[in-house]
Amino acid sequence: MKKLLKIISFALIAQLSLLSPLKAQNLVVNSPDNRISVTLSISDRISWSAIFDQKAVIEKSTISMDMGNGRVLGRFPKLKSNKSHSFSEEIIPQVPYKDAKIQSNYNQLTMSFRGDYQLIFRAYDDGISYRFVDNNRKSEVVVSEEFTIDFPEGSTSFFPKEDSMYSHNERLYLNKALS
């Protein structure tokens, strides 16, 4: 009986240790005004979703970057650490268009992964951004980048109806279903 319990316990522990890497890690970064929330899910891939004013605007979308030689940033990622920071800076454009000064406020989530790379997500009050940072000293060429974006069912977009390839940029923008 004891031997059977040991075998069952060992099998259960082995199964749990095999399943634990498949469990996704979730991280969140919010905009300074808390109207935008980005949730990142790290499992065998890196995916993300975005909420604006508590309404889903982007659903589970994936990102990765193929650096060649079989090295793909974001595929089977192993998170080493993550840090969150808030930033506020004033940008003075060389050639001002609408503003002589631009106030930039954002929250940043920096994730460091095994394989010597980072992924940085920023949430601004009016949008989001991300970028991969390759810390590999050897210069490489980006072969391809994966960026899929999934919109919730029933999403719409304002789209200008054009009659030709020539546009005066004064068309009516029609509210159309993305489907």
Mean pLDDT over the full length of the chain: 86
**pLDDT (average), residues 115-136:** 95
What percent of the chain has a predicted confidence (pLDDT) above 90? 61
Domains and CATH numbers, the chain: 19-152 (2.70.98.10)
Distance CA 60, CA 91 (A): 33
Report whether pLDDT(74) > 90.
yes
Helix (H) or strand (E) holding 154: none
- Rg of the chain over Cα atoms, rounded to whole angstroms, equals 22
Condensed to tens digits (0 to 9), the pLDDT of residues 9-48 reads 444 454 544 444 457 899 999 999 999 999 999 999 999 9
End-to-end alpha carbon distance in the chain: 61
Q: Which CA distances in Å does 81 have to 48, 109, 118, 156?
A: 18, 11, 10, 37
Other Cβ atoms less than 10 A from the Cβ of 123: the count is 24
Confidence class for position 5, pLDDT limits 50, 70, 90: very low
Q: CA 131, CA 170: separation in Å to the nearest integer? A: 34
One-letter amino acid of 86 = S
Instruction: Please answer whether residues 65 and 142 qualify as being in contact, where contact means their C-beta atoms are separated by less than 8 angstroms.
Output: yes
Confidence grade of residue 3 (pLDDT, cut at 50, 70, 90): low
Q: What does the DSSP 8-state code read for residue 75?
A: B
- Is 98 or 75 the better-scoring residue by pLDDT? 75
pLDDT in tens, 142-152: 999 999 999 99
Decide if pLDDT at 87 tops 70. Answer: yes
